[in-house]
Structure 1
Amino acid sequence: MRYIFTFFVLFFLLWSCSSTKKATTTSEENMELNISDEEKQAFNAKGAQDTVRIADEETAYEIIIIDPGFNSWLYSIAQPEGYYSQEFLESRNNIYVINWNQRVLNPQRYNPNLYEMQIDYSPNIDYGYEVNYKLYNYFLYFQRKYNQRLGPFYPRIN
């Protein structure tokens, strides 16, 4: 009888310690996004795919980012376009690209699954605001998600 009582007490303790799981849904009304209707449609269409194509139509430069979560992070957490100056973005991107490429070339020290390909970025070329903006935000997202530091700056959103 004593063993049965102990068993029920242990069972009750384990059962009472489990947390309840509550399903949460996020609707567009609850998210405060500063984006146009066209961008919302593109975001909804690409949300499951999570592939971001960064291109500047004037300069014909393009970056394709395939990283789950970046697209939603870009539209919900990152600062809006126009927040940073192009000079700021170019200077930070230059530092981040140099460190990124050094890590790609050193797979024994850095995870080759994180740093797969080099980025061809030249400070002498004007890539346009959109390319620099999204590349900079990808570096912020990458550093925060994978707990990496690509430069002397702490990757923060402000």
Structure 2
Amino acid sequence: MVMFTTERTPEPVPLEVAESARARRRGLLGRDGVEGALLLGPASAVHTLGMRFAIDVAYLDRRLRVLAVRTMRPGRLGLPRPRSRYVLEAEAGAMERWGVRRGAQVTLHGRRPRVRGGRGTAQPPPPRGATHARLCSRELPWSELT
């Protein structure tokens, strides 16, 4: 089972990972609640059309650092967040209890999820000084080079 923590999380939080495109599209639709949180990736925007409950949404960058946290009521359409690579969804009020707020670092524990559209794992990108040849030798998808 995958769990996550932040610097302020009192105990590890259960995490469900949407590993396929179908799972990312479905998200929390059709559910009455969620135990823990759901990680979507790659993703930069979400909606709550057809949802039965309000959710907290945390937008994460490539290094799993929180860019923003919003609460969305059912029937809303969220705007895309620049630099967002992953989205963490949970029931409304949960992010505050867990200490997930802007600038917090999310750390994953347990089985390493596949969250890049079926390729790779949730790992930070190569260092800034990496050359094109070094990047190509790692066989990263084109989206990681742009």
TM over 0.5: no
If the TM-score is normalised by the length of the shorter chain, which range does it land in? under 0.3
Higher RCO (C-alpha 8 Å, min separation 6):
2
Whichever structure has more strand as a proportion of its residues is 2
Query: Could you tell me the TM-score, scaled by structure 1's length?
Result: 0.23
Query: Could you tell me the TM-score, scaled by structure 2's length?
Result: 0.24
Whichever structure has more helix as a proportion of its residues is 1
